[in-house]
Amino acid sequence: MKKINIVIILIFLFLITTNVSALEINSKYALLYNLEDNSVVYSKNKDEKTSIASLTKIMTLLVAIENIDNYQEEIIIKKEMFDSLNGTGAYVIGLTDGMKLTYNDLLYGMFLTSGADATMAIATSIASSKENFVKLMNKKAEDLGLKNTSFENPIGLDSNNHYSTVNDVAILLKEALKNKKFKKIYETKSYTFKNYDITVKNSFRKSATKYNIDDSYILGAKTGYTGDSLYSLSTTAIDKKNNINYLLITTNADSIEEYLKDATNIYNYYFKNYKYYNLINKGELLVTLKTKYATKDKINIYAKKDIKHYLKNDFSKDKIKYKYKGIKVLNPSIKKNEKIGSLDILYNNKKIDTIDILLSDTIKFSLINYLITNYKLSIVILISIIIIIYLIVKFKNKKKLFKK
């Protein structure tokens, strides 16, 4: 008997462990967005403030793009641009005094390989100083409603006043990707400078190759590392089978290999276990409503389009229920295509969507049904008509007698 109990306990513990570890990751902070419906589908400490290292350059790049009129304009590199980098250990791509580089060169050099020298060249060229450029970054953060974000430098160096959350970084990246120039740079794998034999490559792509990680589904990426943030990563990806786009932010992983594994595990889990299912099919009957004073005694409301929702693969149509809220009895005064209510869609007794219900037919008035429904009034009207007819006839008869 004791052996059986021990076996049962072990099985129970195994099931719990399996469930918990299905998405166990090394990164301390993480957030996954489903970009199709702008929803968070996975998070870990998403609103806790943390150092974000070179994910800072998502904001740096966006602000730079919004303040550059001509990407081919040439900038003369001056060694003073890099004075603040001394002793920081920040990665540089090797820019030297006197080089003539386009803004385009600097943008790619800054972003693909996190070149701190290219970053400082951009910041000082656009805003005359690092401090002025940081003001632009914080103003943009304020405009985007990033309440848990503060920038003190355009590079991502650790500082008490330089922090964000994975939630804020995700909001920032979603907004930045609306900019075509930003999106192009974010998704670029390599770039060669216009007038120099310098090629910069996306650091994520190089790491994926080094660790033999499949990155074929990754659309774009930005990496980062500092002593406080450890290893950080932002990526966008597509589930090609189900045509779903995602955005993932992770920070505070112990190594490059760990953040690569985290991204792989999270994406693969959702690729395999989630997709869009039809909650409602086009033409499906949604609700039947009674009518008043109409030629038809009821009106059927049908779905005009498929209603889809992002759900786990154990989806069952039998678990769907509808809850209608609105006008219960329709009358001819309601016009076609007028909103008459809403329909809550429940899955497993949990509301997951609400759609408007519009009147799809014209309700034709029926005098007979009106009179039948209001029979008391009809009797009064009928009696009134009889009395009127009687009085008219009587009046006519009196008139005839008077003429005789």
3-state secondary structure of 140: helix
Percent of the chain residues topping a pLDDT of 90? 78
**pLDDT single digits (tens) 38-87:** 999 999 999 999 999 999 999 999 999 999 999 999 999 999 999 889 88
Fold agreement (23-274, 281-358): no
Cα–Cα dist 242/195, whole Å: 43
Cα–Cα dist 336/284, whole Å: 19
Q: Compare 393 and 248 and report the one with higher pLDDT.
A: 248
Cα–Cα dist 288/174, whole Å: 41
Element (H, E) at 175: helix 166-176
CB 126 within 8 A of CB 103: no
Cα–Cα dist 19/16, whole Å: 5
Kindly give the pairing relationship between strand 29-34 and strand 329-330.
unpaired
CB 19 within 8 A of CB 245: no
Cα–Cα dist 144/163, whole Å: 16
**pLDDT single digits (tens) 301-355:** 999 999 999 999 999 999 999 999 999 999 999 999 999 999 999 999 999 999 9
CB 203 within 8 A of CB 126: no
**Annotated domain spans of the chain:** 23-274, 281-358, 379-403
CB 198 within 8 A of CB 93: yes
CB 170 within 8 A of CB 124: no
Percent of the chain residues topping a pLDDT of 70? 88
pTM score, two decimals? Answer: 0.83
pLDDT at 4 over 60: no
pLDDT at 125: 97
Kindly give the pairing relationship between strand 244-253 and strand 29-34.
antiparallel
Contacts with 279 (C-beta within 8 Å, 6 or more apart), sequence order? 307, 308, 309, 320, 345, 347, 352, 353
What is the average per-residue pLDDT within 152-168?
97
Cα–Cα dist 257/247, whole Å: 19
Residue 212 backbone zone (phi > 0: left; psi -120 to 50: alpha; other: beta): left
Report the chain's mean pLDDT, rounded to a whole number.
90
Q: How far is CA 336 from CA 83, 235, 301, in A?
A: 70, 47, 12
- For 171, other C-beta atoms within 10 Å of its C-beta total 20
CB 353 within 8 A of CB 323: no
Cα–Cα dist 334/40, whole Å: 39
Cα–Cα dist 275/244, whole Å: 8
Q: How confident is the model at residue 370 (pLDDT cuts 50, 70, 90)?
A: low
Tokens of residue 93, six digits: 């791509």
Instruction: Please report the DSSP string for 75-131 in residue order.
Output: EE--GGGGGGGTTT--------TT-EEEHHHHHHHHHHS--HHHHHHHHHHHHSSHH
Tokens of residue 193, six digits: 């400078």
Q: Where are the beta strands (DSSP E) in 178-293?
A: 190-192, 199-201, 218-226, 230-239, 244-253, 274-280, 285-291
Cα–Cα dist 110/59, whole Å: 12
CATH of domain 281-358: 2.60.410.10
Residue 53 backbone zone (phi > 0: left; psi -120 to 50: alpha; other: beta): left
CATH for 23-274 (3.40.50.300, 3.40.50.2300, 3.40.50.720, 3.40.710.10): 3.40.710.10
